[in-house]
Structure 1
Amino acid sequence: MRSTTIENPSEIQRWRDRFYAARWVLITCVLVFGSLYLTGKLAFADALLAFLLIFLAAIVVPRRARLMRADLPSKDKSTVWPDTSLKRFAQALPDPCLIVDRRAILRYRNSAATSEFPASSVGDPLAFSLRNPILLNTIDQAIKTDSRVTGEFHETVPSANWYQVSVTPLEPKNAKVGPTKRSELLVVTIVSQTAQRKHDQMRADFVANASHELRTPLTSLIGFLDTLRGPAANDAAAREKFMSIMHAQAERMSRLIDDLLSLSRIELRQHMRPTTKADMGAIAKEAIEHLHPQAGEEKVEINFINELDDATITGDRNELMQVMTNLIENAIKYGAAGKKVDVKLRSCSQHTNHKIVVDVIDYGQGIPAEHVPRLTERFYRVDAESSRRKKGTGLGLAIVKHIITRHRGDLHIFSEVGKGTKVSLHLS
């Protein structure tokens, strides 16, 4: 049986590499010995023998430089710092993470840090880009104590932001072993506290506003009761007048409590999208009929325009009725000067995720542009006194916003002074 020898491809490649590395030496030898032979200074056999000896020396015996290059990939990659594993760990963190050395020079930053602090640059001292004294002092304390140190700092440019910072040495120093590459590094993690701070501020403002709104009618009731029990105890005309005012104040408190409870219930179910079906055409008609007497008192005409054959969406009918009632009632109260309100249902062509658009348009005095972005804030009023006279609680649009958010819809408010206001709901 004939045996077949299959050469190892790696061996072939190794000999090719050696020949390629020695090519200039071999070319030079050919030129030198060829010249000596042609000029008669060296016999052909002697020239060939000398060339073969040099050829074997260049090809067979590996050069030291080539051996050194071959050894490079096997070196301990941990000498290059921060090493790959540490970079991957930092990159996996969702919050900004900076790796600095004990001179506070930035050695690495993950994607979150790049996005949050774009001015920071690897290789530069951290103080060049992040000049916050509390942050830099926290890093200095961690370097001095060789332990984990935490702190909080506040940035005002380009906007107000609050952060919690934690600085931890990657590996504590060991006096017996001496400093290592890993002991020279510190991990700086920065967690944004902005959303939490703003939420806490909103909660504090809400409690303060709610207390104020309830205290005003409650103080009035107590004052009138004291008057009725004292100087006006036997004054029938004064008693009738005060009883009427007390009734109005009690109604105001009742409306405010109802809106607060309604807002609380909606927030509890904010994460749960409705699963039932609701006909926005029928809801709009019912809301208009319910508010028809109020529109008559204000001498406002309500026009209903439905351009849809099918206005059925996924939603909670009671909540959507509350939305339509609030919007149309606001249009009647605050847009009465325009003498008409349009309620329009149309298909949504701007967003593929939404099916229909509901527009509630009044032609009253409109709202100044600086107030429009804040209209859905709780207890925010463009004119507080006018709102109270019209029996507003300051929570109507906040309730609308939360209901639309629960339905995964969009709320847009457009207004121009002297031309009226349009509120658009995008629903699916």
Structure 2
Amino acid sequence: MEALPKEERGFAQELALRFRREWLLLLLLSTIALIAFVAGANDLLVFALWLPLVVAVLSRPLPEIPVVPVEMPVPEPPVFDPLPLISATLGTLDMPVVVLGGDITVLYRNKAAERAFGDLPIGTHLTARLRSPGILDMLRETIATGQPNQIEHSERLPSERVFILRVAPIDIGGLAPGMGNYYLLSFRDVSELRSIDRMRSDFVANASHELRTPLASLKGFIETIQGPARDDPKAQERFLGIMLDQATRMSRLVDDLLSLSRLELKSHIAPDQTVDLKPLIIHVSDALLPLAEELGVEIRLHLPEGRVDVLGDRDELIEVIENLIENACKYGQEGKFVDVFLKGGGRLPVEVNVIDKGPGIPAEHVPRLTERFYRVSVADSRSKKGTGLGLAIVKHILTRHRARLLVKSELGKGTEFTVRF
């Protein structure tokens, strides 16, 4: 009773006192009636004495219960934190994304962001990983204005990559009062696009240069034949031979360009024919035998017994082997030998190794050998009638065949080209 409010406690005490008095009176009269009954009084008299009292007691109205207003506490609605939902959604993306707070601390990063930029601990400031002033200025502007922004950012290490960074506030629709603002920082990798643009511009510049040189030579010799050498048969014969070489060079260049274009169109289609590499290598060796004899080089084949099958396009694989052996003969003729090994087959990976004993290639040039028009020595390449596109064609063909080209070279000891299927 002590725990009840004051009004309710007084009402309970009054009600208990009243019930106690009335029940005592009822008990007293009942006792008198019982004594009268035992003493032999008339039943009707006893009943007459007892009944009015019972009716009077039971018919008395109960006191009114005071209504005390009670103020019930209103529970506060639970605060909705949208970060788990945001994290679950962004975790499915394959592009790097980071959720930042208003103080540019990392609240969430997906697996793609970890792979791209390493560990980004939750709660750390973004500048612990990205220190570019341009990025920080962009983030501060978005936090101040609430407007999305983007910037281009380059990473130099461990490899050169270019990203388009975009930051925008996350609109949570007012469902998280007091939770602060969230900002989504996304990274779109455009390294490949930039590389393609650079390659395209380099390609146009190099192709124009490669074609301009023989065209200028042809034009000059034609003008000479029409002018000073008009009546000089010996000069005309010599000039016509040079013009034929230049025209042949342009023809090879155009053929290689068309071959590259054709390969790019079907680079995503893997070949499904079965090709035995053993007779293919023998065929290429026989076709290059006149060139090898002219250069004083011996082509030595090291072939296993039985078939060595791979999935591929026969004509394209002939072009790969022919390019590699021809380059080994031309640029490694000082070693006098070119060894061709065929290994693997069955459950083992198939490898074709073309090894020369020439002067070798400096290490800084090896990673760029398959670039279009890239030459270790421009003068040496042109003197050997190279177009600078041979290894680029080899790379494209092997990419289509899901194969790899590995290059090992040591100055003074030669070069080894390995095709691994």
What CA deviation, in whole Å up to 9, does each residue of 1:207-245 have, x standing for no partner? 211111111111111111222222222222222221111
Moved more, 123-132 or 278-287: 123-132
Deviation at 1:426, TM superposition (A): 1.7
Deviation at 1:205, TM superposition (A): 1.3
Does the CA-based 8 Å contact 1:147-1:172 persist in structure 2? no
Q: What residue identity is the alignment partner of 2:357?
A: Y
Does the CA-based 8 Å contact 1:362-1:420 persist in structure 2? yes
What CA deviation, in whole Å up to 9, does each residue of 1:274-300 have, x standing for no partner? 111212111111111111111111121
Matched with 1:337 is: 334
Which of 410, 417, 420 is equivalent to 1:416? 410
Answering whether residue 220 of structure 2 is matched by residue 207 of structure 1, we say no
Matching of residues 15-414 of structure 1 within 5 Å: 76=78, 78=80, 80=81, 82-118=82-118, 120-171=120-171, 180-181=177-178, 184-347=181-344, 355-414=349-408
Q: 1:181 to 1:265 in 2, by over 3 A?
A: farther
- How many angstroms apart in 2 are the aligned matches of 1:139 and 1:270? 41
Matching of residues 2-13 of structure 1 within 5 Å: none
Relative to the length of structure 2, the TM-score reads: 0.77
Q: What residue identity is the alignment partner of 1:374?
A: R
Moved more, 213-222 or 226-235: 226-235
- How many angstroms apart in 2 are the aligned matches of 1:87 and 1:148? 20
Question: Which protein has the larger Cα radius of gyration, Structure 1 or Structure 2?
Answer: 2
Does the CA-based 8 Å contact 2:277-2:307 persist in structure 1? no
Matched with 2:31 is: none
> Secondary structure, in 3 states, of the residue corresponding to 1:187?
strand
Q: What residue identity is the alignment partner of 2:412?
A: G
Q: 1:77 to 1:309 in 2, by over 3 A?
A: farther
- How many angstroms apart in 2 are the aligned matches of 1:100 and 1:369? 44
- How many angstroms apart in 2 are the aligned matches of 1:223 and 1:299? 34
Relative to the length of structure 1, the TM-score reads: 0.76
Deviation at 1:88, TM superposition (A): 0.8
Q: What residue identity is the alignment partner of 2:255?
A: D
Deviation at 1:183, TM superposition (A): 5.8
Does the CA-based 8 Å contact 1:365-1:420 persist in structure 2? yes
Matched with 1:7 is: none
- How many angstroms apart in 1 are the aligned matches of 2:156 and 2:405? 30
What CA deviation, in whole Å up to 9, does each residue of 1:256-289 have, x standing for no partner? 1111111111111111111112121111111111
Does the CA-based 8 Å contact 2:303-2:342 persist in structure 1? yes
- How many angstroms apart in 2 are the aligned matches of 1:160 and 1:369? 19
Taking only the aligned residue pairs, the percentage that are identical comes to 44
User: How large is the RMSD of aligned CA atoms in angstroms?
Assistant: 2.4
Q: 1:117 to 1:361 in 2, by over 3 A?
A: closer
Q: What residue identity is the alignment partner of 1:415?
A: S
Q: 1:326 to 1:373 in 2, by over 3 A?
A: same
Q: What residue identity is the alignment partner of 2:211?
A: L
- How many angstroms apart in 2 are the aligned matches of 1:161 and 1:412? 23
Does the CA-based 8 Å contact 2:361-2:415 persist in structure 1? yes
Q: Runs of 5+ in structure 1 lacking a partner?
A: 1-71
- Which consecutive segments of 4 or more residues in structure 1 shift more than 6 A? none
Matched with 2:37 is: none
Q: Runs of 5+ in structure 2 lacking a partner?
A: 1-74
- How many angstroms apart in 1 are the aligned matches of 2:390 and 2:188? 35
